[in-house]
Amino acid sequence: MPLTPAVRQRHIIELLDARQSLSIRELATELGVSAMTIHRDLNILAGGGHLVKTRGGAALPSRVNGREGAPGSCAMCNRSVPERTAVILRSQERGRLAACCPHCGLALLEHDAPDLMLVTDFLYHQVVSANDASYLVGSGVTSCCTPGILAFGNRGDAERFRQGFGGQVMGLAEVRHALRIGMSVSVELWP
Protein backbone atom coordinates (compact mmCIF):
# COMPACT_ATOMS: atom_id res chain seq x y z
CA MET A 1 0.00 0.00 0.00
CA PRO A 2 1.50 3.36 -1.02
CA LEU A 3 2.44 5.80 1.71
CA THR A 4 0.47 9.03 2.02
CA PRO A 5 2.42 12.26 1.43
CA ALA A 6 2.34 13.11 5.16
CA VAL A 7 3.71 9.69 6.15
CA ARG A 8 6.33 9.83 3.39
CA GLN A 9 7.45 13.29 4.49
CA ARG A 10 7.72 12.15 8.11
CA HIS A 11 9.89 9.23 6.92
CA ILE A 12 12.09 11.65 4.96
CA ILE A 13 12.72 13.71 8.11
CA GLU A 14 13.45 10.53 10.12
CA LEU A 15 15.88 9.29 7.46
CA LEU A 16 17.63 12.65 7.34
CA ASP A 17 17.84 12.74 11.12
CA ALA A 18 19.61 9.37 11.07
CA ARG A 19 21.90 9.97 8.10
CA GLN A 20 22.39 13.79 8.06
CA SER A 21 21.89 14.13 4.30
CA LEU A 22 20.50 12.02 1.49
CA SER A 23 20.29 12.16 -2.28
CA ILE A 24 17.03 12.20 -4.24
CA ARG A 25 17.91 8.74 -5.57
CA GLU A 26 18.50 7.33 -2.08
CA LEU A 27 15.20 8.74 -0.84
CA ALA A 28 13.29 7.45 -3.87
CA THR A 29 14.74 3.97 -3.44
CA GLU A 30 14.18 3.92 0.32
CA LEU A 31 10.54 5.02 0.01
CA GLY A 32 9.73 3.17 -3.21
CA VAL A 33 8.54 6.25 -5.13
CA SER A 34 9.72 8.26 -8.13
CA ALA A 35 12.30 11.03 -8.01
CA MET A 36 9.55 13.52 -8.95
CA THR A 37 7.51 12.47 -5.91
CA ILE A 38 10.57 13.03 -3.72
CA HIS A 39 11.12 16.47 -5.31
CA ARG A 40 7.53 17.43 -4.49
CA ASP A 41 7.89 16.22 -0.91
CA LEU A 42 11.20 18.06 -0.48
CA ASN A 43 9.67 21.28 -1.83
CA ILE A 44 6.88 21.06 0.75
CA LEU A 45 9.28 20.25 3.60
CA ALA A 46 11.74 22.98 2.55
CA GLY A 47 8.92 25.51 2.30
CA GLY A 48 8.02 24.74 5.90
CA GLY A 49 11.64 25.09 7.07
CA HIS A 50 11.95 21.38 7.92
CA LEU A 51 14.90 20.74 5.61
CA VAL A 52 17.26 22.44 3.19
CA LYS A 53 17.39 21.29 -0.41
CA THR A 54 20.89 20.67 -1.67
CA ARG A 55 22.05 19.91 -5.18
CA GLY A 56 20.57 16.48 -5.81
CA GLY A 57 19.29 15.89 -2.29
CA ALA A 58 18.44 17.34 1.11
CA ALA A 59 19.76 17.91 4.64
CA LEU A 60 18.16 18.92 7.90
CA PRO A 61 18.58 22.63 8.77
CA SER A 62 20.17 21.68 12.09
CA ARG A 63 22.82 19.76 10.13
CA VAL A 64 23.40 22.79 7.92
CA ASN A 65 23.63 25.63 10.42
CA GLY A 66 24.54 23.89 13.65
CA ARG A 67 21.26 24.70 15.42
CA GLU A 68 18.16 22.68 16.12
CA GLY A 69 14.88 23.37 14.40
CA ALA A 70 14.21 25.77 11.54
CA PRO A 71 16.99 27.49 9.62
CA GLY A 72 17.51 29.89 12.55
CA SER A 73 19.14 33.27 12.74
CA CYS A 74 21.88 34.83 10.69
CA ALA A 75 25.22 34.65 12.49
CA MET A 76 25.97 38.16 11.20
CA CYS A 77 22.82 40.26 11.59
CA ASN A 78 20.56 37.93 13.62
CA ARG A 79 17.72 38.07 11.06
CA SER A 80 15.91 34.88 10.14
CA VAL A 81 17.53 32.80 7.39
CA PRO A 82 15.20 32.45 4.39
CA GLU A 83 15.61 29.39 2.18
CA ARG A 84 15.91 31.46 -0.98
CA THR A 85 19.05 33.38 0.06
CA ALA A 86 20.62 31.17 2.75
CA VAL A 87 24.40 30.89 3.01
CA ILE A 88 26.17 28.14 4.94
CA LEU A 89 29.72 28.36 6.26
CA ARG A 90 31.64 25.62 8.03
CA SER A 91 34.90 26.18 9.87
CA GLN A 92 36.98 24.18 12.32
CA GLU A 93 36.84 26.97 14.88
CA ARG A 94 33.15 27.94 14.85
CA GLY A 95 31.44 24.89 13.37
CA ARG A 96 28.51 25.51 11.04
CA LEU A 97 27.09 28.99 10.63
CA ALA A 98 24.15 30.27 8.62
CA ALA A 99 23.75 33.68 7.04
CA CYS A 100 20.55 35.24 5.74
CA CYS A 101 22.05 36.37 2.43
CA PRO A 102 25.31 36.39 0.44
CA HIS A 103 26.09 39.89 1.79
CA CYS A 104 26.14 38.62 5.40
CA GLY A 105 27.86 35.39 4.37
CA LEU A 106 30.66 37.31 2.70
CA ALA A 107 30.98 39.59 5.75
CA LEU A 108 31.35 36.45 7.93
CA LEU A 109 33.93 35.16 5.47
CA GLU A 110 36.08 38.21 6.24
CA HIS A 111 36.21 37.23 9.93
CA ASP A 112 36.57 33.49 9.64
CA ALA A 113 38.49 31.09 7.46
CA PRO A 114 35.77 28.58 6.63
CA ASP A 115 36.59 25.20 5.15
CA LEU A 116 33.37 25.39 3.16
CA MET A 117 30.98 28.10 2.02
CA LEU A 118 27.74 27.27 0.24
CA VAL A 119 25.22 29.72 -1.21
CA THR A 120 21.66 29.19 -2.35
CA ASP A 121 20.81 29.79 -6.00
CA PHE A 122 18.23 32.59 -5.95
CA LEU A 123 16.16 31.12 -8.80
CA TYR A 124 16.29 27.38 -8.17
CA HIS A 125 16.93 27.20 -4.39
CA GLN A 126 19.75 24.72 -4.93
CA VAL A 127 22.83 24.88 -2.73
CA VAL A 128 26.05 25.49 -4.68
CA SER A 129 29.67 26.17 -3.79
CA ALA A 130 30.33 29.88 -3.21
CA ASN A 131 33.40 29.56 -5.44
CA ASP A 132 31.35 28.29 -8.37
CA ALA A 133 28.47 30.78 -8.05
CA SER A 134 27.97 34.09 -9.83
CA TYR A 135 26.70 37.06 -7.86
CA LEU A 136 24.40 39.89 -8.89
CA VAL A 137 25.32 42.96 -6.84
CA GLY A 138 23.13 46.05 -6.50
CA SER A 139 20.10 44.91 -8.48
CA GLY A 140 16.58 46.23 -7.99
CA VAL A 141 15.90 43.16 -5.80
CA THR A 142 17.15 43.60 -2.25
CA SER A 143 16.80 40.64 0.09
CA CYS A 144 17.77 42.34 3.35
CA CYS A 145 21.22 43.96 3.26
CA THR A 146 22.57 46.78 1.12
CA PRO A 147 23.99 46.44 -1.39
CA GLY A 148 21.81 43.47 -2.20
CA ILE A 149 23.74 40.42 -3.39
CA LEU A 150 21.99 37.49 -5.03
CA ALA A 151 23.72 34.18 -5.80
CA PHE A 152 23.17 32.16 -8.97
CA GLY A 153 24.40 28.68 -9.85
CA ASN A 154 25.47 29.80 -13.30
CA ARG A 155 26.52 33.07 -14.84
CA GLY A 156 23.93 32.89 -17.65
CA ASP A 157 21.06 32.99 -15.15
CA ALA A 158 22.69 35.92 -13.34
CA GLU A 159 23.12 37.82 -16.63
CA ARG A 160 19.50 37.24 -17.64
CA PHE A 161 18.29 38.34 -14.21
CA ARG A 162 20.52 41.44 -14.47
CA GLN A 163 18.82 42.41 -17.72
CA GLY A 164 15.51 42.72 -15.92
CA PHE A 165 16.63 44.05 -12.56
CA GLY A 166 19.95 45.82 -13.13
CA GLY A 167 23.11 45.46 -11.08
CA GLN A 168 26.48 43.97 -11.88
CA VAL A 169 27.41 40.28 -12.22
CA MET A 170 30.61 39.27 -10.43
CA GLY A 171 32.54 36.22 -9.37
CA LEU A 172 33.37 35.53 -5.72
CA ALA A 173 36.76 37.29 -5.73
CA GLU A 174 35.29 40.38 -7.43
CA VAL A 175 32.37 40.73 -5.03
CA ARG A 176 34.64 40.22 -2.00
CA HIS A 177 36.94 42.95 -3.27
CA ALA A 178 34.01 45.30 -3.96
CA LEU A 179 32.63 44.78 -0.46
CA ARG A 180 36.03 45.35 1.18
CA ILE A 181 36.38 48.68 -0.60
CA GLY A 182 32.79 49.78 0.01
CA MET A 183 32.55 48.55 3.59
CA SER A 184 36.09 48.98 4.95
CA VAL A 185 34.94 51.00 7.96
CA SER A 186 31.94 48.90 8.93
CA VAL A 187 33.72 45.55 8.52
CA GLU A 188 36.22 46.59 11.21
CA LEU A 189 33.37 47.28 13.66
CA TRP A 190 32.00 43.73 13.61
CA PRO A 191 33.24 41.36 16.33
Do 57 and 21 meet the contact criterion of CB atoms below 8 Å apart? yes
Is the pLDDT at 69 greater than 70? The verdict is: no
SS3 2: coil
Class of the CATH domain delimited by 5-59: mainly alpha
Residue 18 CA: distances (Å) to CA of 58, 60, 63, 132: 13, 10, 11, 30
Stated as kind and residue range, the H or E segment containing 54 is strand 52-54
The tens digit of pLDDT for each residue in 52-68 reads: 888 788 887 654 444 33
Residue 83 burial class via C-beta count within 10 angstroms: exposed 0-12, middle 13-18, buried 19 and up: middle
Q: What is the mean pLDDT of residues 173-185?
A: 75
* Segments making up each domain of the chain, as ranges: 5-59, 67-189
The tens digit of pLDDT for each residue in 135-146 reads: 999 898 877 788
